């Protein structure tokens, strides 16, 4: 069994959100517009992968569509919230609290407090780009105690 899994429509159907996915893929689509659920799913997967990559001791799987299997339920809950947002459905208070709890879970992964499953085909997590430290140079003093020319 793989340590990292892909989240697909089938995964979400197992979580009993088939009607939500189908509504998102059919409601208010323009002519020729593709289904929205795959993009929403990948957006949440990307978010989870960024959180995992934030901890330097974590590695990412080479497959960009996978997440650690231990974060499956976290990811599914966040996808459900985004699907509802795409349909302009309000989240209940319980759902908002659940999303906040799931984000806290991801933040614990990001800061290294929680361990994630190691990927089957690991790649190093990308390093955060840092801005170069500006060099401050002082001009040489023209006037000092040793050099008082011009007075």
Which residues make beta-bridge pairs with 4?
68
**CA-to-CA distance for 15 and 73, rounded, in angstroms?**
9
Residue 37 has pLDDT above 90, yes or no: no
pLDDT score for 66? 94
pLDDT score for 132? 59
Residue in 108, 62, 109, 102 with CA at minimum distance from that of residue 82: 102
Percent of all residues in the chain with a pLDDT value above 90, rounded to a whole number: 45
pLDDT score for 103? 95
pLDDT in tens, 49-76: 999 999 988 999 999 999 999 999 999 9
Residue 137 CB neighbours (<10 A)? 6
Quote the pTM value: 0.76
């Amino acid at each position: 069994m793989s340590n990292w899994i892909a989240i697909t429509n089938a995964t979400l159907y197992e979580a009993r959100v088939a009607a939500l996915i189908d509504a998102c893929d059919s409601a208010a689509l323009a002519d020729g517009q593709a289904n929205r659920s795959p993009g929403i799913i990948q957006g949440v997967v990307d978010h989870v992968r960024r959180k995992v990559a934030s901890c330097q001791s974590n590695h990412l799987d080479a497959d960009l569509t996978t997440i650690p299997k231990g974060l499956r339920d976290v990811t599914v809950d966040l996808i459900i919230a985004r699907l509802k947002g795409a349909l302009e459905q309000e989240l209940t208070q319980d759902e908002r609290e659940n999303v906040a709890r799931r984000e806290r879970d991801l933040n614990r992964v990001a800061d290294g407090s929680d361990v994630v499953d190691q990927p089957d085909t690991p790649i190093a997590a990308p390093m955060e780009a840092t801005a170069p430290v500006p060099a401050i140079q002082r001009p040489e003093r023209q006037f000092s105690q040793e050099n008082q020319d011009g007075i």
